[in-house]
Copies of this chain bind each other. A is one copy, B any other.
Amino acid sequence: MRYSKLFGKSLRAAPKEAESISHKLLSKGGFIDQLAAGVYTFLPLGWQVHSKIANIIRSEMNAIDGQEFSMPVLAPKALWQETNRWKTIDPPLFVTTDRHNKEYALGPTHEEVITDLTRRFVKSYKDLPFAAYQIQDKFRNELRATGGLLRTREFFMKDLYSFHENEADFKDYFKKVIEAYTKIFDKLGLRILVSQASGGSIGGDTTYEFQVPASVGEDIVIFCKACGYAINKQFAEGKNVKNTCPECKEKLSETNAIEAGQVFSLGTKYSKGMGATFVDKNGKERPIIMGCYGIGIGRLMATIVEVSHDEKGIIWPENVSPYQIHLISIGSDKNVARKADEIYAELIKKGVEVLFDDREESPGVKLADVDLLGIPQRWVVSENTLKQDSIEVKKRGEKAAKLVKISTL
């Protein structure tokens, strides 16, 4: 991609309202653009990162037999009344009305919709177990939406739902999802604390949050450095967990953290309430056991930036970076421009993901953008490097650059 033609280039300054590091860097870098409070456009650079994260999640969901599908945003009021969440969910629902004065929720989560589907499609134990997920646009009517992508009012979420005959089968799958989540965070280079937590508006007696330690995080997690035990501080207070690890008796530590994923054991809360039953092997009708599992994709993108940046900009892990190489030419020499063009054409031909800053800008502007955008490798072509038939290669996050012969690239 030629940077001159990219839609949504870097800004001279981050928007005034940006408080968190990720909001500042993602806005300034031209990854996202705020349209309203908590409502963002993903510009092409940002959408590439978002899509790469989504694909990593997708592949791990497929690996645990998750079936991808897609539920709508609009959900009839009647469904939300069945569970009594029309009035009680927190934050409250965004609502819209059609021309026949029927009301709809803009889905913040999809337990009602999928439980309704399940009660119509699942009849017998032979249809169980199964798990279905979507990567879909969610709406939460937050009073305050600050922190950029960390807390938004519209965002893409991966929500997986699983359905089981009995508690044992559910528990097996619950473990598999926790392992899949651990793999996802691992691939994204994020250290996590799998923390016990409350079910909140979603429900369930056993829920875990995937917490990423970060100073900007709104949650506080109490954790044990010795055995890995972790619990959300708010929840810990109810459970009377204080200074000592309930599992290994070591001293507990505390950290701010960003909740980047959550898994819920729903039991029969929704299936009983909405009549989603199946006929078991003995011919007896029983409510289906359910679990649900969410990851907010934009929040994950912001979380990566919060924990992987320096004072100059973002440092993307390779597997989510929008491009692998950021190629720039320095100086106004025609030979340099021609050589940079050639290298760009060669990289494109080889299928390398390369961003080529072909603008007539000063070296200072171009080099600052390289650091801001955070692509893993910087390749510089200048009169100096060409004197040695070379380009200068530097990895983002490292200080040392080296000259590499063009013939060996």
Contact = CB atoms under 8 A, between A and B. Distances in A.
Given A98-B153, A121-B9, A72 B141 contact: no
A134 to B, nearest CB: 8
Contacts of A39: 72, 74, 104
A203 interface: no
A71 interface: yes
A42 B97 CA distance: 23
17 contacts: A5-B127, A7-B117, A35-B72, A35-B76, A35-B113, A36-B74, A40-B72, A41-B117, A42-B69, A42-B70, A43-B117, A51-B68, A72-B154, A73-B106, A74-B154, A92-B99, A99-B143
Most buried by B among A4, A51, A76, A104: A104
A2 to B, nearest CB: 10
A44 interface: yes
Interface residues of A, number: 62
Given A68-B47, A71-B35, A92-B99, A130 B41 contact: no
Interface in A260-294: none
A75 B40 CA distance: 10
A125 to B, nearest CB: 11
Contacts of A8: 69, 117, 121
Given A5-B130, A50-B70, 13 more contacts: A6-B67, A7-B117, A8-B69, A33-B121, A35-B74, A36-B75, A42-B70, A44-B67, A46-B69, A96-B106, A98-B141, A98-B153, A99-B143
Interface in A47-63: 47-48, 50-51
Interface string A82-108: 000000000110111111001010100
A132 interface: yes
A254 interface: no
A176 to B, nearest CB: 15
A47 B73 contact: no
